Amino acid sequence: MKIDSKTRFSIIVLISGWFILFGVIPLVLLVITSFLTMDPANLVRLSFSLKAYSQLLIDPSYIIVFIRSVKLALITTLLCLGLGYPFAWYTARMPPRWRTSVLVLLMIPFWTNSLVRTYAMRMVLGTQGILNKALLSLGFIHTPLRIMYTDYAVVAGLFYLMLPFMVLPLYATIEKLNFQLVEAARDLGAGAASAFIKVIFPLTLPGIMAGCVMVFVPTMGLFYVASLLGGARQLLVGNLIQQQFLNARNWPLGSATSIVLIIFMAVMLIGYGLLLRRFGRGKGISG
């Protein structure tokens, strides 16, 4: 079906208008607000200031929150990669009639809001939760473990929410993998480890990078996971932004924190693009 020029123009205008209204304008307002001055009575005062950015760079408490957010996001990403890679590998090697069922089971949690699933994790990790009751009944522990309101609970919640985002790009990459290259490497004397390092890993590197970016970037902003599972002391950057806007009513600092987080994510996406261009189109695919 051919689309006439008037319809095409209307679609472009609608999409561009939507993007400008809900993407560009809020971002511009965020940038402007970050350079204004806090005013408890009116939220902000129209006076140029770099105080918000200087606070983020000088105050050690904010730096600690950023470092901690990166640490937990990195741990979550590595855990998702460690479990997601073999899961995606064996799923891609299954007979076609089983693959759909496994992928549907993987996607079922997406049918429920992530906030509801985070509340469900409280029922699993709590002192009287499913995990402690199971360990007690099996005799592995004699007193309930204190998991809630720790970094372990936050990482467990992030891992549970973000695992599918790692599995799906890995599965898409592995499914397209030419397994004849792996068999050729084995025929030429390469062991399992050597074949993985020299053949499988380079060929699946684009999927690994895509999965890592899709897990790491959103994890930095999932403030409700840290709030519900980690408590008030287990803050991520997302919690810091929420507190500045809603509790402290320091909109310039909240905006500045948001801009720094956006820049950090943009740098990661640019780095992903450069790595994909270098390895994905070069040695990783053709080698």
One digit per residue, the tens of pLDDT, for the chain of length 287 reads 556 677 888 888 999 999 999 889 999 999 999 999 887 777 788 888 898 999 888 888 888 888 989 999 999 999 999 999 999 999 988 888 888 888 888 888 888 888 888 888 989 998 888 888 998 988 888 888 888 888 899 999 999 999 999 999 999 999 888 877 877 877 777 777 888 888 888 888 888 988 998 899 888 888 888 888 887 666 788 888 888 888 888 899 999 999 998 898 888 888 878 877 776 554 444 33
Q: Please report which helix (H) or strand (E) contains residue 10, including its range.
A: helix 5-19
CATH numeric code, 59-286: 1.10.3720.10
249: left (phi over 0), alpha (psi -120 to 50) or beta: left
Can you give the pTM of this predicted structure? 0.83
- Residues linked to residue 45 through DSSP beta bridges, in sequence order: 37
Structure-block tokens of residue 108: 């079922």
Q: What is the CA radius of gyration of the chain?
A: 23
Q: Which residue type sits at 26?
A: P
Question: In angstroms, rounded to a whole number, what is the distance separating the alpha carbons of residues 168 and 209?
Answer: 12
Phi, psi of 209 (to 5 degrees): -65, -40
Q: Which residue, among 202, 206, 213, has the nearest Cα to 284 in the 3D structure?
A: 202
Compute the C-alpha angle 106/110/116, nearest 5°. Answer: 125
Compute the C-alpha angle 203/169/110, nearest 5°. Answer: 165
Question: In angstroms, rounded to a whole number, what is the distance separating the alpha carbons of residues 28 and 42?
Answer: 20
